[in-house]
Amino acid sequence: MKTARVAYSGAIHSATPHAAGLQLADGRVLAETDVVWLPPFEVGTIIALGLNYADHVKELSKELTVTTQDEPLVFFKGPGSLLGHRGTTRRPADVKFMHYECELAVVIGKTASRVAAAQAMDHVAGYTVCNDYAVRDYLENWYRPNLRVKNRDGGTVLGPWLVDAADVPDPHALALRTRVNGRVTQQGNTADLINNIPALIEYLSAFMTLQAGDVILTGTPDGVANVNVGDEVVCEIDGIGSLVNTIVGDESFGL
């Protein structure tokens, strides 16, 4: 089952896919553009992985002080970073390189504390698509993720759908891609994750309790490219959805 959360006519609604766009829980059918899309679930802690695809590590190797790690590179993001499907993300006028990152987002469904990898998938509610933008101008080293790179307002796009875990037979065999203005610029597969989902849940739950609604952003493959004002960026994961976002300039935010 696929579900979404949208704002329409002054209220927040749950919705499901429909041939004409989406259907609200009360039965009304609307076009995708008639609503404001929100992240498709009530988000708790946002846990993000860096450098979790070997090809992306190689892609960035010239920028990294260290290219291997004993443990996953993990950082947190604040709620203000979140944005829904069809939203707009600001590109600051003074930056030279801002790029998308198409990622599989894993949504926790029940409390997980000290969970072994063998039982980890029992704690997954479902999956959605994430586009986690980064401004490389502000990057320091892999071990010091800079807040300005990865915690920007509206720079973490989630959606459009939350897909039940039961409807995804193998989350480690999903093709993903990014299109910029209709052209494919990034391709990968979750089979190539360095730390897979059970390993991540085991690692994280060993020192922090994961709660329902927490989300793990599993990282991006190689193929990141600069985006500019006016670009439409679509991140797609087979069986999960297509997440649309548009880049705007400072003036759209009164800056």
Q: How confident is the model at residue 224 (pLDDT cuts 50, 70, 90)?
A: very high
Give the per-residue pLDDT at 60: 55
Query: Which letter, b or e, does each residue of 164-188 get, where b requires 16 or more Cβ atoms within 10 Å of its Cβ?
Result: bbeebeebeebebbbbbeeeebbeb
What pLDDT does 58 receive?
Answer: 55
**How high is the pLDDT of residue 67?**
47
- 3-state helix/strand/coil string of 169-194: CCCCCCEEEEEECCEEEEEEEHHHEC
pLDDT tens digits, residue range 37-68? Answer: 999 999 999 999 987 887 545 555 555 555 45
Q: What percent of the chain has pLDDT over 90?
A: 83
The sign of the dihedral angle between the CA atoms of 213, 218, 194, 183 is: positive
pLDDT score recorded for residue 145 = 57
> pLDDT tens across 144-175, in order?
557 778 889 999 999 999 999 999 999 999 99
| pLDDT single digits (tens) 64-82 | 555 455 688 899 999 999 9
Q: pLDDT confidence of 178, banded at 50, 70, 90?
A: very high
Percent of the chain with pLDDT over 70: 91
Distance in angstroms (rounded) separating the CA atoms of residues 149 and 136: 7
pLDDT-derived band at 6 (thresholds 50, 70, 90) equals very high
The better pLDDT of the pair 90, 144 is held by 90
What end-to-end distance do the CA atoms of the chain give, in Å?
A: 41
The CB density around residue 253, as the number of other CB atoms within 10 Å, is: 12
The pLDDT of residue 55:
58
* Domains, in order of start, for the chain: 1-38 (2.30.30.370), 41-253 (3.90.850.10)
What is the full DSSP assignment across 218-255?
Answer: ----S---B--TT-EEEEEETTTEEEEEEEE-GGGGT-
Give the C-alpha distances (Å, rounded to integers) separating 245 from 2, 70, 190, 231, 254: 20, 34, 22, 8, 19
Whether pLDDT at 215 is above 70: yes
pLDDT for 143 equals 47
128: alpha, beta or left, given left = phi > 0 and alpha = psi -120 to 50?
beta
Q: What is the pLDDT of residue 236?
A: 98
Distance from C-alpha of 109 to C-alpha of 79, rounded to nearest angstrom = 19
Residue with tokens 């998308």: 100
Tokens of 156: 């973490």
**Residue-wise pLDDT tens digits, 105-144:** 999 999 999 999 999 999 999 999 999 999 988 876 554 5
Mean pLDDT of 222-230: 95
Two tokens, residue 108: 């926790």
pLDDT tops 90 at residue 86: yes
pLDDT at 16: 98
Checking DSSP bridges between strand 21-24 and strand 73-77, what pairing results, if any? unpaired
Return the bridge partners of 243, or none. Answer: 235
Output the 3-class SS for 18-60: ECCEEEECCCCEECHHHCEEECCCCCCCEEEEECCEHHHHHHC
Give the mean pLDDT of 217-244.
Answer: 97
Which tokens sit at 190?
């979750």
pLDDT (0 to 100) of residue 50: 82
Average of per-residue pLDDT across 183-189: 97
